[in-house]
Amino acid sequence: MIHAKQALLAEGWADNVRLTIDAGTILRIETDAAARTGDARVDTLLPSLGNLHSHAFQRAMAGMTEFRQAGRDSFWTWRDLMYRFMDRMTPEQIEAIAAQVYVEMLEAGFASVGEFHYVHHQPGGRPYDNPAELSERIFAAAAQTGIGLTHLPVLYTYGGAGQADLTAGQRRFGNDADSFARLTEHAASALRDLPPDARIGIAPHSLRAISPEDLARVVAAQGQGPIHIHIAEQPQEVRDIEAWLGARPVAWLLDNQPVDDRWCLIHATHMTDAETDALAASGAVAGLCPITEANLGDGPFNGPGYAAAGGRFGIGSDSNINISLTEELRTLEYSQRLRDTRRNVMIPAQGAVGAFLYTAAARGGAQALNRDAGVIETGRLADLVAIDSQTPALCALSGDGILDCLAFAAKDGVVTDVWAAGRHAVLNGRHPKREEIFAAYRKAVAQLIRD
């Protein structure tokens, strides 16, 4: 049982809310209820956000690519460094890094994560005896931390648009549609050892890394699960796809695949107004990764047009350069303000911007991760976060104003508790295993840098 002084329920704010959780889902909600002995007592209870896009291993190289080299630094020079770093990682190191990342996500207030998992093979490209070896390392990290996992094994076949060969740095990613089918079968089977809220989907990496034929094949084989794809992150990628397939990436995908509410288009940064409207109308989620997109110099999302068209979106921490829920929300809105030289941009009509960003991202994240969550309602998964409304950043506000303050004025330290499908993973702002997980992470990173 959880007792909250106030909570944001599906129908709005309520006081003295008591939640009964059973088998990971919300069984009963009482309002104006007194706390009882044994209740976990919190201040303000919110639906938690799902972090819809993560490459866990990249956390270990955070800060290593922030120096300027001769020539022009770009997304593509960053990617080369990332490949070199990743090429030495062992399964044990990948597990230790992922566990650290998931503790940081939980403590920031994310109850679940979509792990867009593309390192599958040994250094050099030979598959492990178990094709899902590295998927299982991610599962172990999820099990250790309690985070809700949506596993998204990646199909990555080519080194660039037009079916170019993989480069040396990409060999650990490579699968064709057949070996990918074997990988997902093994991963789905191993996933059954995780709690029942764990999900699996697929992630065709991007239009530049696969063929249209394989994309059609893996999508047809997928059925109901989530389908995530990187798209239109960089202008060069838009030009390459246009030259190869005859259309801009988002337009091509919408014209050639049955894009609907199973889909999550990661970034979708460079869209025309027509693409923006069409993506919004599809029911798919735009997977926005504001901190990473700023760090990599991707560009700002077409926020005003997408919000006006009722487009769905969620938040991902992608490269994990900085894992912060509050920072993601404000970076999203500030990128819009800096481009448009005005305030309160990414909201459909009028209203509280922080509250809109938070509640829309909670719903969009849950949809993209195939979790029945994102609002507090009976029958939904108990993916919940509690914050302390009496901290200096929040104490002057009430109702939706709390969410505006959370997005623009607070830091993640206001998070006191997190439940992932009812698992109480953060208490008093801390994950119970944070010290041992951090010790293993520190050891793994020291090894990685030395080797």
Decide: is 298 part of the binding site for Zn ion (CB under 5 A): no
Q: Which of the stretches 6-14, 142-150, 315-323, 428-436 binds Zn ion when contact is defined by CB under 5 A? A: 315-323
Query: Nearer Cβ to Zn ion, position 44 or 331?
Result: 331
Query: Nearer Cβ to Zn ion, position 228 or 262?
Result: 228
Query: Nearer Cβ to Zn ion, position 136 or 318?
Result: 318
Binding to Zn ion (CB under 5 A): which residues in 276-295? none
Task: Answer for the pair 31, 13: CB distance below 8 angstroms, yes or no.
Answer: no
d(CA 200, CA 211): 22
Look up 43 and say whether it is catalytic.
no
Q: Which of the stretches 158-166, 311-319, 384-392, 437-445 binds Zn ion when contact is defined by CB under 5 A? A: 311-319
Rg (CA), the chain: 21
Which residue in the set 43, 104, 240, 318 belongs to the binding site for Zn ion (CB under 5 A)?
318
Task: Answer for the pair 136, 94: CB distance below 8 angstroms, yes or no.
Answer: no
Report the residue count for the chain: 451
Q: Which uninterrupted H or E stretch holds 292?
A: helix 290-295
CA distances from residue 145 to 197, 360, 442 in whole angstroms, order as listed = 14, 26, 17
Q: Which of the stretches 13-21, 127-135, 312-320, 433-441 binds Zn ion when contact is defined by CB under 5 A? A: 312-320
Show the beta-strand stretches assigned E in 174-222. Answer: 199-200, 203-204
Of 205, 267, 270, 431, catalytic: 267
Close Cβ partners of 12 (under 8 Å, ≥ 6 residues apart): none
Site size for Zn ion, by CB under 5 A?
1
Question: From the CB of 15, what's the least distance to Zn ion, in Å?
Answer: 40
d(CA 190, CA 187): 5
- DSSP-derived letter for residue 10 is T
Q: Which of the stretches 78-86, 247-255, 317-325, 409-417 binds Zn ion when contact is defined by CB under 5 A? A: 317-325
Q: Which of the stretches 86-94, 181-189, 305-313, 314-322 binds Zn ion when contact is defined by CB under 5 A? A: 314-322
Query: Nearer Cβ to Zn ion, position 240 or 318?
Result: 318
Question: From the CB of 267, what's the least distance to Zn ion, in Å?
Answer: 8
Question: From the CB of 318, what's the least distance to Zn ion, in Å?
Answer: 5
Question: From the CB of 230, what's the least distance to Zn ion, in Å?
Answer: 6
The DSSP result for 395-445, as a single string, is TT--THHHHHHHHHT--GGGEEEEEETTEEEEBTTB-TTHHHHHHHHHHHH
Question: From the CB of 390, what's the least distance to Zn ion, in Å?
Answer: 37
Task: Answer for the pair 99, 54: CB distance below 8 angstroms, yes or no.
Answer: no
d(CA 155, CA 152): 9
Query: Nearer Cβ to Zn ion, position 14 or 291?
Result: 291
d(CA 237, CA 201): 24
Query: Nearer Cβ to Zn ion, position 75 or 408?
Result: 75
β partners of residue 265 = 229, 286
Of 43, 214, 298, 318, catalytic: 318
Query: Nearer Cβ to Zn ion, position 202 or 415?
Result: 202
d(CA 366, CA 114): 10
Question: From the CB of 208, what's the least distance to Zn ion, in Å?
Answer: 13
By beta carbon distance, the residue nearest Zn ion is: 318
d(CA 405, CA 395): 9
74 Cα distance to chain centroid: 23
Placement of tokens 């997109």 in the chain: 293
Task: Answer for the pair 397, 368: CB distance below 8 angstroms, yes or no.
Answer: no
Tokens of 403: 């969410």
Query: Nearer Cβ to Zn ion, position 107 or 318?
Result: 318
- DSSP-derived letter for residue 17 is E
d(CA 314, CA 329): 10
Look up 318 and say whether it is catalytic.
yes
Q: Which of the stretches 158-166, 220-228, 316-324, 330-338 binds Zn ion when contact is defined by CB under 5 A? A: 316-324
Question: From the CB of 60, what's the least distance to Zn ion, in Å?
Answer: 16
β partners of residue 17 = 4
Question: From the CB of 53, what's the least distance to Zn ion, in Å?
Answer: 6
List residues near Zn ion by CB under 5 A. 318
**Which residues are catalytically annotated?**
267, 318
